Amino acid sequence: MGEITNVMEYQAIAKQKLPKMAYDYYNSGAEDEWTLKENREAFSRILFRPRILIDISKIDMTTTVLGFKISMPIMIAPTAMQKMAHPDGEYATARAASAAGTIMTLSSWATSSVEEVASTGPGIRFFQLYVYKNRKVVEQLVRRAERAGFKAIALTVDTPRLGRREADIKNRFVLPPFLTLKNFEGLDLGKMDQANDSGLASYVAGQIDRTLSWKDVKWLQSITTLPILVKGVITAEDARLAVHSGAAGIIVSNHGARQLDYVPATISALEEVVNATQGRIPVYLDGGVRRGTDVFKALALGAAGVFVGRPVVFALAAEGEAGVRNVLRMLRDEFELTMALSGCTSLAEINRSHVLTEGDRLRPKPRL
| Residue from 86, 244, 255, 354 carrying the catalytic annotation | 255
Residue at shortest CB range from ligand GLV:
80
Give me the least distance between CB of 344 and ligand GLV, in Å please: 34
Exposure string over 51-90, b if 16+ CB within 10 A, otherwise e = eeeeebeeeebebebbeeebebbbbbbbbbbbbbbbebbb
- What is residue 48's DSSP assignment? E
Q: Would you say 22 or 347 has its CB closer to ligand GLV?
A: 22
CB neighbour list of residue 361: distance below 8 Å, 6 or more residues apart: none
64 assigned binding-site residue: no
Give the other-Cβ count within 10 Å of 297's Cβ.
28
Kindly report the backbone phi and psi dihedral angles of residue 69, in degrees, each rounded to the nearest multiple of 5, phi listed first: -80, 130
26 assigned binding-site residue: no
Q: Would you say 109 or 132 has its CB closer to ligand GLV?
A: 109
25 assigned binding-site residue: yes
Give me the least distance between CB of 368 and ligand GLV, in Å please: 45
Q: Would you say 22 or 80 has its CB closer to ligand GLV?
A: 80
Q: Would you say 77 or 92 has its CB closer to ligand GLV?
A: 77
Q: Would you say 40 or 255 has its CB closer to ligand GLV?
A: 255
Give me the least distance between CB of 286 and ligand GLV, in Å please: 12
Nearest-5° Cα angle at 303, 45 to 151? 140
Which helix H or strand E contains 65, and what residues bound it?
strand 63-65
Q: Give the rounded distance of the alpha carbon of 329 from its chain centre.
A: 17
Q: Which residues bind ligand GLV (CB under 6 A)?
A: 80, 109, 255, 258
d(CA 281, CA 304): 10
Kindly report the backbone phi and psi dihedral angles of residue 60, in degrees, each rounded to the nearest multiple of 5, phi listed first: -110, 115
Give me the least distance between CB of 256 and ligand GLV, in Å please: 7
Q: Pick the closest to residue 261 from 8, 11, 35, 13 (CA basis).
A: 35
Give me the least distance between CB of 255 and ligand GLV, in Å please: 6
- What is residue 208's DSSP assignment? B
125 assigned binding-site residue: no
d(CA 162, CA 263): 15
d(CA 122, CA 330): 23
Q: Please report, as a single letter, which amino acid is at residue 180.
A: T
Active site residue 86: no
Give the other-Cβ count within 10 Å of 11's Cβ.
20
130 assigned binding-site residue: yes
Contact 332, 292 (CB under 8 A): yes
Q: Give the rounded distance of the alpha carbon of 356 from its chain centre.
A: 25
291 assigned binding-site residue: no
d(CA 138, CA 315): 31
Give me the least distance between CB of 28 and ligand GLV, in Å please: 9
Q: Would you say 91 or 130 has its CB closer to ligand GLV?
A: 130
289 assigned binding-site residue: yes
147 assigned binding-site residue: no
Binding residues: 25, 78-80, 107, 128, 130, 156, 165, 231, 253, 255, 258, 286-290, 309-310
- Known catalytic residues? 255
Binding residues for glyoxylate: 25, 165, 255
Binding residues for FMN: 78-80, 107, 128, 130, 156, 231, 253, 258, 286-290, 309-310
